[in-house]
A and B are shown apart, each in its own frame.
Chain A
Amino acid sequence: MVKTYIFRFLIAVLTSIFMGLLYMGIGRKFMARIRRCYAGPFYQSYIDVIKLFSKNSISHNWIMDFGVMMGFAGIIATVVFLPIGPFNVFPDMKGNIIIIMYFMTIGYLGMAMGVAASGNPNATIGIARALSLMIGYEIPFALSVILLIFANRSSLLYDMVLSQHGSFLNWNMFRYPFAFAGSLIALQGMLGEQPFDAMIAPAEIASGPMVELSGKFLGFGFLQHASQIFLETGIIAAMFLGGGTILGFFTKQLILYLITLSIAAVFSRYRFEDAVKFFWIIPTLLVLLQLVIFLA
């Protein structure tokens, strides 16, 4: 029985890495198109990862290695709990949303710890910004999760998906439009895309947390970002777009990612305390409005 779990675990992890890198490659080409210039082939990100893992790298102490590994492990562990379309690693815990939300924080904690151990002040300033931004976008995201839990009387993503099958009209996107808008903005913050990427602002803090990472550590960061894209878009897809078959699920993820990229291409960077204020006002009010409508 354990063998099947390990086998399913590997499938989930590898698909998340593979698809994540694919989305990044397509995303890069998409951004280049918007800026009317040409980007490398869509498989460019695979090459980068293989290149990074083959170069030698420097590290300051054992906590840096331990932290980066822990960060990546956290994100993979969360992906395991995400129902990729109909496929589930654990039959009895089909995508418990609360576990996913809390497991993500392990990813952040691991990465933050590894980067902070590098001793570079730019890295820690980046992490401080990332964390305060996190408290910003978590509120609207949590509100929409609560709304859906109240709607389906269960906190399993699987049940949320079940409630949406049938014609695409009864997707949650249409049933709770405001909540969908709020969580889309939250997704923007989660992925750390353009308007809310104060934490890796290259100009101010030399790309923040990644300042000390080199070689395979940067590779780990890359992979973590890739599976993070796969995870977050997967959650929103499951919650609001009724993740159907595997292929349908992937396409929905890609569409969501491209939407965030298109917003990113247009907006310039927010100061992160204004970003937090923005998160606490507009998306939260949207989802609150939806909640009030639902409760009334």
Chain B
Amino acid sequence: MIGKILLSGVLISFLSMFVRKRYNYFRWILFSIYLLLTLYFLFLWRNSFYYNESYNFLSLYGLNFSLNFKITPLGWLFSFFTIFLTFLISIFSIQKNIGEDSEKLISFFWFYLIVSNIGIFFADDFLTLFIFWELMTFSSFFVISPGWIKSFRAVNYYFVLSTLGAFFMLLGIGFLYGGTKSFSIESGYTYLFTLFSINPLLSVFITITFILGFFTKSALIPFHIWPAQAHAEAPDDFSAFLSGIMIKYGLFGNLLFLVPLFLLIKNYPSTQIITNGIPLFSHILSWVGAITSVIATFLAIESNDMKKLAAWSTVANIGYATTSIFILSSYGIAGGIFQIITHAIFKTAIFLALAAVKYRTHEREMHKLGGLAYKMPVTFLTFLLGIIAAAGIPPMNGYASKWFIYQALLSGHFPFLTIAIFLSSTGAFMYLFRALHSIFLGQLPEKFDDVKEVPFLMQIPMYILMALMLLTGVFPGIILKPINSVLISFNLQPVKVTYNTMFSTLSSVDSLKVFLTFSGSFAFAFILYLIGKPRKHVEPLDNYTAGQDPKEFGLTRELYHFALKFYEPFEHMFDSYRTNTKEFYDSFERKVNEFGNFIKESYSKNIRYSSYIFIFALVLVILYGWLVW
């Protein structure tokens, strides 16, 4: 059944190629119908777990290359929420493409992204996982930079890093295949576990190859630069997909392979060094997650481009999720997955709001915007609720997942990790308010006076997302019940949760009561507001120039919009230790180019050089032969 869905995806993508350029949006309607269908099928399979399917391809000398899929609870959960969110994004992009005669190619490759998305989540063995991983990297290349010159520099960080990671993963898969003679993930990590005691060097090397593969995709410390570039340059609706869903594949990879491995080590601690109840390796990885979130938060505080800011906040949230996953307690993993899902929901909402702003104003720099709330109320509300959820404030779903992560960290006795997470969550509040103020509040520039609200088709996904954020915030049980089934599949004891209350060893929270208290106090404030004398509406500018016409003073509304260097003094605190990893990657690329040039130079410049090389090579061969014999 899964194979049919994938095949139909590919067929429809070819069908969509023949739609004429003018009816571009029809392609997107096709795309959202396809998504609706897959969503329906996914909903049908919600409790038919462990149903697997395999398509035999090629058997070269006993090596049978076959694609086989299995619906695991983890795979089902991830694919369901990703397809649901992509469906919302596709409704948004139908409207966005009505005007534009965008390239035929983008929608063509969108289909491949979805096909590889389903493929990755339902992959049962390494081969299928790797094939769809490659397919996703290649097709996302074309969608991120559909022919804009500037976007190539941005996308090539992403592309080079993820291909490097993918091929290192292939190396790891090769090694595991060497040991277990089969591609199945299950036997892979059990073999690796036994290998830890026999030959620690090789096993560490294999785990590092897998870590490289997954961490490049989910942008953790050494590879955290590509989301900021890729999101800023990608088409707006795709950056919602990119940060909502595509960055989660790395985490899904961790959950698929690394977490079961570390759980094995944790349960049977043979030679492995156990610190604080979990293997040293996963402790280091959770520290990597924590450091990424702190650094990403401080970089987000400094960024002035709204999409870069949102991208950095994605990197920070991925940092929390990785930290809580690698604590390996049942609360940790549940908190991590919960954080991934809630982050996907509110980040899609934020990015769709940003896309709506860009659709109307074609402007990305925050200081050039301002005061759009008065003109675009629906987008403002979505953005506001998204901000509240991202900062983890109670009534919204962000709070529930943060609460889980804190329970995991505190009950697991990781004081310093909790501080890092707390620092980045308060920091999150800082840059989120900066975005809210510079785009929506403050002064409305003259040129945006006639900006209207986004057409209704774009508002539908916003309403749905708002409702979703509130719903999962007030009733966290909706998401936690499937997560429990995932925990059982990891054979950890599930988290005690009813639909609206979450229990843990330290304390329990009834989010329904929390929501009711907040609405109660809001009603109290509203009554108080009505008691006071009614207020009079006054134009902001009349206030400052006391009624005189501000134009005489040469004062325009933009001058009153404080947004450019919002936290400038705060940034100066970090001037002394500012390392720029982008510089490092650029210089590395330049050096590789120079070395290549030197080689080419030495050839084609003149035969004199080539003869030197020739002698050098001859001597080398003779020396080599002489030494080795």
| A residues adjacent to B (C-beta < 8 A) | 6, 9, 13, 53-61, 63, 65, 69-70, 72-74, 76-77, 80-81, 89-90, 92-93, 96, 98-99, 102-103, 105-106, 108-109, 112-113, 116-121, 124-125, 127-128, 131-132, 134-135, 138-139, 142-143, 146-147, 149-150, 153-156, 212, 215-217, 219-220, 223, 271-273, 276-277, 291, 295
Contacts and interface: CB of A to CB of B under 8 A. Distances in A.
A66 B78 CA distance: 37
Contact of A135 (B399, B410, B426, B526): B426
B392 A53 contact: no
A61 B543 CA distance: 13
19 contacts: A53-B532, A69-B522, A69-B529, A73-B521, A73-B524, A76-B521, A93-B510, A109-B433, A117-B441, A121-B560, A134-B430, A138-B423, A143-B419, A146-B418, A149-B410, A153-B506, A155-B410, A219-B532, A295-B415
Interface stretch (B261-269, B322-330, B451-459, B562-570): B562-570
Nearest to B427: A135
A4 to B, nearest CB: 13
Interface in B396-416: 399, 402-403, 406, 410, 413, 415
A215 B413 contact: no
Given A55-B533, A276-B573, A150 B373 contact: no
Nearest to B384: A113
Nearest 6 A/B pairs, CB to CB: A216-B532, A76-B521, A119-B540, A121-B562, A116-B441, A73-B522
Given A53-B531, A61-B373, 20 more contacts: A58-B538, A70-B525, A73-B518, A89-B517, A90-B510, A98-B507, A109-B429, A112-B437, A117-B441, A118-B540, A119-B371, A120-B544, A121-B561, A131-B433, A138-B423, A138-B426, A142-B419, A146-B410, A212-B543, A223-B528
B419 A120 contact: no
A9 B380 CA distance: 31
Contacts of A121: 560-562
A106 B521 CA distance: 12
Contacts of A116: 436-437, 441-442
A134 B391 CA distance: 14
Contacts of A89: 517
A147 to B, nearest CB: 8
Specify which of B437, B441, B442, B526 lies most central, judged by the most chain A CB atoms within 10 Å of its CB.
Answer: B441
- Main SS class of interface, B: helix
B586 interface: no
Contact of A77 (B387, B430, B518, B543): B518
A295 B526 CA distance: 47
B570 A273 contact: yes
Contacts of B544: 120
Contact of A134 (B388, B418, B426, B442): B426
A127 B422 contact: no
A109 B391 contact: yes
B374 interface: yes
Contact of A96 (B391, B423, B509, B540): B509
Interface string B560-595: 111000110110110000000000000000000000
A124 B562 contact: yes
Contact of B415 (A58, A61, A217, A291): A291
Given A54-B533, A117-B373, A156 B567 contact: no
B524 A13 contact: yes
Contacts of A98: 403, 406, 507
B506 A138 contact: no
Contacts of B610: none
A190 to B, nearest CB: 13
Nearest to A295: B415
Interface residues on B, range: 35 or more
B572 A273 contact: yes
Interface string B477-511: 00000000000000000000000000001111110
Nearest to A219: B532
Nearest to B443: A119
B509 A99 contact: yes
A150 B416 CA distance: 12
B393 interface: yes
Interface string B436-478: 1100011100000000000000000000000000000000000
Nearest to B539: A60
B507 A93 contact: yes
B335 to A, nearest CB: 13
Contacts of A74: 518, 521
Given A96-B507, A96-B509, A132-B569, A59 B537 contact: yes
B533 A216 contact: yes
B543 A58 contact: yes
B535 interface: yes
A69 B384 CA distance: 15
Contact of A58 (B399, B443, B524, B536): B536
Nearest to B566: A128
B538 A76 contact: no
A58 B535 contact: yes
B3 interface: no
B525 to A, nearest CB: 4
A58 B547 CA distance: 14
Given A65-B529, A119-B371, A13 B538 contact: no
Nearest to A112: B433
B520 interface: yes
A102 B509 contact: no
Contacts of B506: 149, 153-156
